[in-house]
Structure formats: C-alpha cells, structure tokens
Amino acid sequence: MKIGVRAHDYGKRSIEELAVLLHDEEYQAAQLALPKAFTGIDSYQDITLKHLEQIRRAFEKNGIAIPVFGCYMDLGNPDGRVRGYAVDTLKKCLRWGKELGAQVVGTETACPRLSPEERRQWKPYMLDSIKRVMEEAVKADMPLALEPVYWHPLTDLETTLEVIDLIGDKDHLRLIFDASNLLEFPETTDQDRLWSSWLESVGEYVDVMHIKDFSLGRSRLYQPEALGHGVMKYDAVSRWLQKQRREIWLLREEMNLLFAKDDLAFMRNLAAAKSSG
C-alpha cells in the first residue's frame, strides 16, 4: 500500500514547490486536480503539454506518484450544455492523464447535492455520459475511475454494479472508494457490514481509497476530523487491505496541518497492522 494526499489541500503552489513539499511531508503519492493545485493553471482550458511535462518531471524527481488525475465533472446534469462540457473535458483529461503518467482519471458523477428524486432523474444522463467518456478511455487506453457518493446519481452499490455491468470493461473502468461519502446515516449504520458488502462486491475495481473522517454536530453540519476521531469505522476496510496482493493507494482528503502527521500514522497502520475488528 502507498500513502498519498489530495495535493490542493496544501493550497495552490508552483509545480516544483508542491512536488518538493509533498516529498518533505513524507507522502508517496498525490491526487492532482491541476487547476486547484498549481499556480498558472486556473482552468482545464489552461493546461498545456508543457505543464504536463513540468509536472511529470518534478513529481518523478521527488518520488511522488500520481495515482489520480482529478477532473470532477457534472456527468449527470440534465442541462445538455453542462453535461457536454463535462464529457468533453473528461475526454481531454484522459489524454492528458496518459501524458502525465497518472494511473486513472477520477471523477464523481455530479456537482450539486441531490435529493433522492433528483438522483433518479439524473441517472439516465449519468449513464449516457459515462458511456461516451468510456469510448475515449478505451481509445486512449487510460482508465476512468468513478467515485460513488450517496447524494449523487452513482448513489449506492446497486447502481455501481449496474454501471459495471453496462460498461463491461474492468481494464478501463475503475472505482475510487470513499467510505465517508457513502455513509448517509452514521448513527444507525452497521459500517462493518456496509464496507464489507461494498468491498466484497466491487473491491476488484478499487485501486484508490480516499481516507477521511468527520463528525456531525447538533445541526448535522459536516465537520472534518482527524482520522480516528470522528464517526468513521475502518475495521472492515483494514481487514480487506490485509488480503490484497496488489497496489492500493490510500489518499488523505481534507488534510489539516494540525494533525497531518497523526493522520499519516493512522493510514500506515490501516494498511499494515492487523485490524482490531
């Protein structure tokens, strides 16, 4: 297992500065959303081959792998113009991700937080978008990694399995597993059972995990927390990781400098130590 971070949690920096910083912070990998991570790149339209070469060289020099080229797009939006932009941008990022040496290009399936009815309404648009983006993924031989989120059209395990069956291409369709984005009712959910069900069903598609923790106050407002100090229970994930005989990337999201070192230790233990569950 290798440990990384969502790079723009450290703010927007120059290419060389960010690569050196991540090395000094003892990460092995980074998820890069280029317009959020680097000065001089303010949108996906700004990306050039020169940028990609500079990033590739700087990150290789500092020993930082790029498991995920992040391009989170509104794939399920009913507005055809919004959806068209999302599909076209993702197709470009698949080609750029190949040039950069990333392992996958990652996306969620919507931007706004949707109601259950909206998720059902947006689902057919999401499926159409995924099929169109997958054409480019196959052509470029660059995997697309979808991230299920309970408030998006790719909302649950059943829908995820439906997409997997629809596409039928394990080499080019992968998953980013973020357990915290699937935990709708932390007070009543048997997390051990839920994460075991997910990983037993689709674990072979998971190369990347986002690791984070959170709490809900009296008003149920989301509050990021240090790993192990919120509602998340990672025992089932840890047990699954022990059984893997391939590279799995654990990427910290919502990094906070106040407890970044403790979070690194938590992730290393998650991947290496025997689960207490």
| Residue that is written with structure tokens 């400098």 in the block | 257
pLDDT in tens, 133-177: 999 999 999 999 999 999 999 999 999 999 999 999 999 999 999
Residue among 227, 232, 242 at smallest CA distance from 195: 232
Please say whether the dihedral angle defined by the alpha carbons of residues 39, 31, 111 and 73, taken in this order, is positive or negative.
positive
pLDDT at 273: 54
Pair type for strands 65-70 and 206-211: unpaired
Q: What is the DSSP letter of 10?
A: G
- Contact present, 239 and 198 (Cβ < 8 Å): no
Stretches where the chain sits below pLDDT 70 are 273-277
Pairing verdict, β 213-216 and 222-225: antiparallel
Q: How far is 106 from 97, CA to CA, in rounded Å?
A: 10
Residue 264: partners with Cβ closer than 8 Å, 6 or more residues away: 3, 26, 27, 252
The two three-digit tokens of residue 119, written as one number: 């998720």
Residue 233's region, left for phi above 0, alpha for psi from -120 to 50, else beta, is beta
Tokens of 196: 């075991």
Which tens digit of pLDDT belongs to each residue from 168-187?
A: 999 999 999 999 999 999 99
pLDDT at site 277: 37
What is the pTM assigned to this prediction? 0.95
